[in-house]
Structure 1
Amino acid sequence: MNDLMAGNDAETARVPPAPSFREAVRLWARIGLLSFGGPAGQIALMHKELVEERRWIGEQRFLHALNYCMLLPGPEAQQLAVYVGWLLHRTAGGLVAGILFVLPGALVMLGLSSFYMLYNDAPVIEALFFGVKAAVLAVVVEAVIRIGKRALKNRVMVAIAVAAFLAIYVVKLPFPLIILLAGLAGWVGNRVAPALFSGSAHGKSGVADDSKGAVDLMFERGELEHTRPTKWHAPRTIAIWLPIWLGPVALIAALTGPASVWSQLGSFFSVMAVVTFGGAYAVLAYVAQAAVSSFGWLAPGEMVDGLG
């Protein structure tokens, strides 16, 4: 017992204290500037910065939050950043994490898209975008392998991942059905062979491995009161943020008319934010089909260039 307590004390001593708000701002700005390669690259960078180097959040809690964000509609990488920022510094932390996560990319995309529209026919620009696409593919593959090594800890998990890949790529099953079947497999497997399907739950004091982070210790000490659910928290959040989200869309439709391209953009991406489960890669086909075939906003080649 004394050895166990000494080991816990040593583990606690190795975990750095919770970061200040200023430290968090600097890190989220850094991640926003350096997270190339789409969600896989972004998640891999967040894992490196938050779990491996700074230990702000533990391994198991990070993976659990990632799995949860994958089940939500919308961009899982940004949702994960908002969640960690909110854990550390409440609403202000979540807002800073979410805004800084996308702001650098939005500014770069604005410049690149303007440059592309002006000079996309030049041979040098075509070669540049061809190289960018190849490099992005390499970054994505490396990031998937990196996260996969962390998340797939036994042959059963690898088998489920392979089956999911075959189901979505070969059989063309809907993504929500694949998630439902994977969850059912985990539920049944936990009853048949719990050692192969165990994992630490979010918000609990016990962490399955020895990679605790500052957030885990804050949970253990009872310092994260804002994470405790109340019956008024969700209604209050919806009452505040739903008008902030849909108000501008309704205003644009009223000013420009429902048939304008601005109204179409606002309504399409608002609907997409609600119905697109499985992360960014799972919705690319849906977005590409709508942008190319349904609305005619882009040509097929331009869609691929935009992805690059």
Structure 2
Amino acid sequence: MTALAKDSAARPAAIPAVPSFREATRLWAKIGLLSFGGPAGQIALMHKELVEERRWIGEERFLHALNYCMLLPGPEAQQLAIYVGWLLHRTAGGLVAGILFVLPGALVMLGLSSFYMLYNDAPVVEALFFGVKAAVLAVVVEAVIRIGRRALKNRAMVAIAVAAFLAIYVARLPFPLIVLAAGLIGWAGNRFAPRLFSASAHGKGTAGAEGKGAVDLMFERGELGHTIPKRWHAIRIIAIWLPVWLGPVALIAVLTSPGSVWAQIGGFFSLMAVVTFGGAYAVLAYVAQAAVTSFGWLSPGEMVDGLGLAETTPGPLILVLQFVGFAAAYRHAGPISPLLAGSMGAGLTLWATFAPCFLWIFLGAPYIEQLRQNKALSAALGAITAAVVGVIMNLALWFALHVVFGKVESVGWGVEVPVLSSLDWRAALLSAAAMVAMFRLKLGMLPTLAGSALAGLALLAL
């Protein structure tokens, strides 16, 4: 073999060049336009583009960042994009990555929300969404299975997932308490049973040469100075980003009455940005209950419709909250146009939901980067990921009850059970067909949603 041939053969193993800001911007725009499939699909897309194809970030750093984002409240997929963008191009890179990840889907969701509120009473639209609800149930079940396969590698992780499910479904414990307990279990497990709680137990990759990326090259060259927390880092970031996030929300609360829908939207979704852990599916379980039961903004069926709309758009699945904010303001528009009010409510929801993500990453990422080799932290993050599976199981059950049955009733401890006589055989049939399409026929999410919508139209026509 010639020297040139040897060099060519070795080139694929070399660490790639650091991308320019323009190259990164183009890729973040592409990811924002193509990131369908909820958080699991979006994380898979980013892994494919960033780790496998371009090798801008290594496998180990990618998973370390992902586990940290799973620990945070809010949409972990967008936070992961901000984290990687920040690693590559500092604060500007994080801003571009986070905004472009959300913007395309937010614009699509605004149009779909307007259409739904104007025409959801039409028989054709009602029939289409009847089918979409069935497919959404299949999507959530698939998310449980997909994330579970990655997180539940042994008996300890399975036990944590089951305990988290019982804690939220039966005991009604708050998300932060479940996440904290899982983290403490993982930390203690690393000390007393490292075989079950080590990073390798969660399927974490190694940091061999083939697993390195451009970020690792930057680190070796000493170009990642921004990942080292400076003096007063935390105070400076909080002083900048806390007013950016809460300033507009507080201003709206001052300009409107405390009981107005605007104050409710701003306050509720700002609170959600702090207390809802476990990613989009975990957030939805709490938001659905509050929006339907506490505020009366939506019916259970409309909440499932909103999730169906979010599943068909690119960007974070948490964009379903934009639909909730739109519906709340649309139905309490007062003297202004309902569509204008709905658009304002959607914008306020977006701000309260996504602005904090930049605060969490810019504040915590430098410290997390310094703890990349900390085994106790990795074990805690792995246990939290396992607990998230149990939280998503709760969401899957909640949707199943409200999609397949017309009525549910509460029994002891607030546990909901279905009224068996209210079984909707058409919804059950469509849900089963959607699961067969996704699990056995391996159809994608979008073909399954489209097929279920058309099947719902045909069934109700009969």
Provide the TM-score with structure 1 as the length reference. Answer: 0.83
- Compared CA separation, residues 14 and 172, structure 1 to 2 (3 A): farther
Letter of the 2:64 counterpart:
H
Structure 1 residues 283-298: aligned runs within 5 Å: 283-298=283-298
Q: In the alignment, which residue of structure 1 is the partner of 2:124?
A: 124
Answer with 267-276 or 216-225: which moved more.
216-225
Q: In the alignment, which residue of structure 1 is the partner of 2:458?
A: none
Q: Structure 1 residue 216: deviation in Å?
A: 2.6
2:274 corresponds to 1:274? yes
Q: Structure 1 residue 238: deviation in Å?
A: 1.3
- Using the alignment, how far apart are the partners of 1:36 and 1:55 within structure 2? 22
Answer with 261-270 or 159-168: which moved more.
159-168
2:49 corresponds to 1:49? yes
Q: In the alignment, which residue of structure 1 is the partner of 2:235?
A: 235
Q: Structure 1 residue 196: deviation in Å?
A: 4.5
Letter of the 1:47 counterpart:
H
Structure 1 residues 134-173: aligned runs within 5 Å: 134-142=134-142, 145-152=145-152, 156-158=156-158, 160-161=160-161, 163-165=163-165, 167-169=167-169, 172-173=172-173
Q: In the alignment, which residue of structure 2 is the partner of 1:27?
A: 27
CA contact (8 A) 1:41 1:140 kept: no
CA contact (8 A) 1:120 1:126 kept: yes
Answer with 179-188 or 253-262: which moved more.
179-188
Q: Structure 1 residue 272: deviation in Å?
A: 1.4
Answer with 30-39 or 153-162: which moved more.
153-162
- Using the alignment, how far apart are the partners of 1:58 and 1:228 within structure 2? 19
Q: Structure 1 residue 227: deviation in Å?
A: 0.7
Q: In the alignment, which residue of structure 2 is the partner of 1:4?
A: none
- Compared CA separation, residues 212 and 159, structure 1 to 2 (3 A): farther
- Where structure 1 has 5 or more consecutive residues not aligned to the other structure, the ranges are 1-9, 201-205
Answer with 132-141 or 81-90: which moved more.
132-141
- Using the alignment, how far apart are the partners of 1:90 and 1:304 within structure 2? 38
Q: In the alignment, which residue of structure 2 is the partner of 1:7?
A: none
Q: In the alignment, which residue of structure 1 is the partner of 2:388?
A: none
Letter of the 1:65 counterpart:
A
- Using the alignment, how far apart are the partners of 1:136 and 1:209 within structure 2? 41
- Using the alignment, how far apart are the partners of 1:55 and 1:151 within structure 2? 24
Q: Structure 1 residue 85: deviation in Å?
A: 0.8
- Using the alignment, how far apart are the partners of 1:40 and 1:120 within structure 2? 29
CA contact (8 A) 2:176 2:276 kept: no
SS in 2 for 1:277: coil
Letter of the 1:86 counterpart:
W
- Using the alignment, how far apart are the partners of 2:229 and 2:135 within structure 1? 43
Matched residue pairs, number? 294
- Using the alignment, how far apart are the partners of 1:301 and 1:30 within structure 2? 33
Let me know the Cα RMSD of the aligned residues. Answer: 2.8
SS in 2 for 1:65: helix
Please give the per-residue CA displacement for 1:136-162, whole angstroms capped at 9, x wherever unaligned: 455555555555555555565455445
Q: In the alignment, which residue of structure 2 is the partner of 1:6?
A: none
- Using the alignment, how far apart are the partners of 2:85 and 2:54 within structure 1? 14
CA contact (8 A) 1:129 1:305 kept: yes
CA contact (8 A) 2:167 2:173 kept: yes
Q: Structure 1 residue 167: deviation in Å?
A: 4.7
- Using the alignment, how far apart are the partners of 1:106 and 1:303 within structure 2? 17
- Compared CA separation, residues 220 and 11, structure 1 to 2 (3 A): farther
2:211 corresponds to 1:211? yes
2:218 corresponds to 1:223? no
Q: In the alignment, which residue of structure 1 is the partner of 2:197?
A: 197
SS in 2 for 1:216: helix
CA contact (8 A) 1:57 1:214 kept: yes
Q: In the alignment, which residue of structure 1 is the partner of 2:253?
A: 253
Q: In the alignment, which residue of structure 2 is the partner of 1:63?
A: 63
Q: Structure 1 residue 192: deviation in Å?
A: 3.8
- Compared CA separation, residues 127 and 208, structure 1 to 2 (3 A): farther
CA contact (8 A) 2:28 2:100 kept: yes
SS in 1 for 2:297: coil
- Compared CA separation, residues 142 and 131, structure 1 to 2 (3 A): same
Answer with 222-231 or 68-77: which moved more.
68-77
SS in 1 for 2:74: coil
Q: In the alignment, which residue of structure 2 is the partner of 1:80?
A: 80
Q: In the alignment, which residue of structure 1 is the partner of 2:446?
A: none
Answer with 213-222 or 77-86: which moved more.
213-222
Task: Name the % identity.
Answer: 85
- Using the alignment, how far apart are the partners of 1:159 and 1:239 within structure 2? 41
CA contact (8 A) 2:190 2:198 kept: yes
SS in 1 for 2:258: coil
Q: Which runs of 4+ in 1 moved over 6 A?
A: none
Please give the per-residue CA displacement for 1:219-242, whole angstroms capped at 9, x wherever unaligned: 233211001001222211111111
2:186 corresponds to 1:186? yes
- Where structure 2 has 5 or more consecutive residues not aligned to the other structure, the ranges are 1-9, 201-205, 309-462
- Compared CA separation, residues 248 and 104, structure 1 to 2 (3 A): same
- Compared CA separation, residues 290 and 149, structure 1 to 2 (3 A): closer
For the pair shown, the structure with the greater C-alpha radius of gyration is 2
- Using the alignment, how far apart are the partners of 1:292 and 1:144 within structure 2? 23
Letter of the 1:262 counterpart:
W
CA contact (8 A) 1:37 1:137 kept: no
- Using the alignment, how far apart are the partners of 2:283 and 2:174 within structure 1? 11
CA contact (8 A) 1:16 1:214 kept: yes
Q: Structure 1 residue 271: deviation in Å?
A: 1.5
Please give the per-residue CA displacement for 1:96-154, whole angstroms capped at 9, x wherever unaligned: 11111111111011100111111112233223333444444555555555555555555
Q: In the alignment, which residue of structure 1 is the partner of 2:302?
A: 302
CA contact (8 A) 1:38 1:140 kept: no
Q: In the alignment, which residue of structure 1 is the partner of 2:451?
A: none
CA contact (8 A) 1:73 1:273 kept: yes
- Using the alignment, how far apart are the partners of 2:177 and 2:58 within structure 1? 30
- Using the alignment, how far apart are the partners of 1:208 and 1:238 within structure 2? 36
CA contact (8 A) 2:256 2:262 kept: yes
